[in-house]
Amino acid sequence: MAAKVFESLGKLGLGLAVAGGVVNSALYNVDAGHRAVIFDRFRGVQDVVVGEGTHFLIPWVQKPIIFDCRSRPRNIPVITGSKDLQNVNITLRILFRPVTAQLPRIFTSIGEDYDERVLPSITTEILKSVVARFDAGELITQRELVSRQVSEDLTERAATFGLILDDVSLTHLTFGKEFTEAVEMKQVAQQEAERARFIVEKAEQQKKAAVISAEGDSKAAELIANSLATAGDGLIELRKLEAAEDIAYQLSRSRNITYLPSGQSVLLQLPQ
């Protein structure tokens, strides 16, 4: 009797295990920010896009392919040429995501690794096309215009593959070694030209100052000559008195000056 009970329990447990395995294989989860495309072995890829949550499928017959539909960043470096034939190294940062409704077409025509297959090629194509419209100087001075033109053209091109570009920006832009050296030499030449212009302007100012000083001396000499002609020796005596007064004032302020009485002899006692 006990053997039959244990045998029945064993069969029940086995049945439950098999049933649990079947149910588990018939369920799949779609996480937040993801979508699923169903591949059917008999009908191919289904047009229906499955949203978030837990869903049922037919085991072995159907298979879910999960896509991440959140915005993801990608940096793509490109080497191209400018309008004046200068080598330009550009790194483009792209924030992209797939169009949810077009996931079945993306999976059928491109595959799960659509970003690896599409983004590098179309980015290189657009960058080469846009950069070729500007010379090296314009790429620096009109960088905002270049970035906007790249963003517009690349967004339009990506839409044909079912991709949405939330942001496109130029994060790195450098030129070849020859162009960089030429720019440095130009800056040095400009600095030397500015220095030479400063020296010339300084010399001109010094020349003007000398002319003004000479004109002032000439005017002073002319005034003195006119005064002498008018006042005679009186002007000279006045200047002598003014000079003597100034000298006496300066000597009176010095501690190293000793005044000796006039008309008296003073003997210095020197050691014998």
For the chain, give every domain's residue range: 18-68, 72-175, 186-221
* Residue 134: DSSP 8-state: S
What predicted TM-score, i.e. pTM, was given to this entire model?
0.61
Among 218-232, 241-255, 257-271, which is the least confidently predicted range? 257-271
Rounded Cα distance, 62 and 164, in Å: 29
Does residue 71 surpass a pLDDT of 80? yes
Q: At what angle do helices 114-131 and 143-159 cross, to 10 degrees?
A: 140
CATH of range 72-175; options 3.40.50.300, 3.30.70.920, 3.30.479.30, 3.90.600.10: 3.30.479.30
Q: At what angle do helices 177-231 and 233-252 cross, to 10 degrees?
A: 120
Residue whose token pair is 């079912």: 162
- Residue 248: the pLDDT is 75
To the nearest whole percent, how much of the chain has pLDDT over 70?
Answer: 74
Q: Averaged over 125-131, what is the pLDDT?
A: 93
Q: Tell me whether residue 201 is exposed, middle or buried, using C-beta atoms within 10 angstroms of its C-beta: 0 to 12, 13 to 18, 19 or more.
A: exposed
Rounded Cα distance, 152 and 129, in Å: 12
Rounded Cα distance, 79 and 120, in Å: 12
The pLDDT mean for the chain works out to: 81
CB neighbours of residue 232 within 10 Å:
10
CB neighbours of residue 197 within 10 Å:
10
CB neighbours of residue 37 within 10 Å:
22
- Residue 265: the pLDDT is 54
User: How many residues belong to the chain?
Assistant: 272
- Residue 14: the pLDDT is 59
Q: Averaged over 171-195, what is the pLDDT?
A: 72
Q: Tell me whether residue 118 is exposed, middle or buried, using C-beta atoms within 10 angstroms of its C-beta: 0 to 12, 13 to 18, 19 or more.
A: buried
Rounded Cα distance, 212 and 216, in Å: 6
Most confidently modeled range among 50-54, 181-185, 239-243, 247-251:
50-54
Q: Averaged over 163-184, what is the pLDDT?
A: 80
Does residue 163 surpass a pLDDT of 80? yes
